[in-house]
Amino acid sequence: MRPRLPIRRESLPDLSEALLACHDALYRYARSLCREPALAEDLVQETYRRALAARRKPEIAAPEHVRPWMFTILRHLWQNELRHRSHDPLHASTEAVAGLSQLETPEGLLTRKMLRSEVRHAVEALPETYREAVVLRELENMSYAEIAVILECPVGTVMSRLSRGRALLRELLAGLDAGVREAAG
C-alpha cells in the first residue's frame, strides 16, 4: 500500500480550479477519440472521478501540471474501453443497429449535419495515432513534451506523428475542396 500524500488545505481550491479548467478541453479530446457525445461525457465524468479519488496527484496545482495528468487519465480510460469492446462480440452488432436507427430519425440526421463539418470529417478520418497528436497539439495547444507524457512516447515520435498527421489532413482537405469544386462546376 502506498503512503498517502499529504494535501495542504490551501492547495485544495487551487486543485479544484485547475481540474475544472480542463473540462472543455477534456470533452473535446474525448469526442475526438470516441466520436460519440454521450460516451465522451461518460469518459470525462469517469476521468474526474478517478482524478479526485487518486492517491497521487500533481504536487503543484497549476494547470500546466494538472492538465497533462487529466489527459493521461482520460486516454487510459479510452484504451480500457477499446479493450473491453474488442472482447465483447455483442457490442459491435449493437453499435451497428444503434447507428442505423440514429441515421433514420430526423433528429439524428440534423445532429450529424450540425456536428460534423468538413474539417471534423478530415480529422476523424485520420488514423488514431495521428488524430490524437493533432487534436492535442492543434486544438488543445499542448506542448510536444505534454503530448509525449500523455501518449507515453518520446518527443520525437510526437513530432513525427504530427508531421504525418498534418500531411494527411492537408490531403484529405484538398480532396474535399476538389469535390466541392466539381459539384459546383
Domain identity same for 184 and 136: yes
Q: Model confidence over 95-137: pLDDT tens digits?
A: 444 444 444 567 665 654 543 567 777 888 899 999 999 999 9
Could you say which of 54, 89, 124 is where a domain stops? 89
Residue 81 lies in domain: 11-89
| 103 in any annotated domain | no
Domain identity same for 20 and 74: yes
Q: Model confidence over 41-69: pLDDT tens digits?
A: 999 999 999 998 888 888 777 778 888 99
List all residues 6 or more positions away from 57 whose beta carbon is below 8 Å from its beta carbon. Answer: 5, 7, 15, 51, 69
Domain identity same for 66 and 130: no
Burial category of 100 from C-beta neighbours within 10 Å (exposed 0-12, middle 13-18, buried 19 and up): exposed
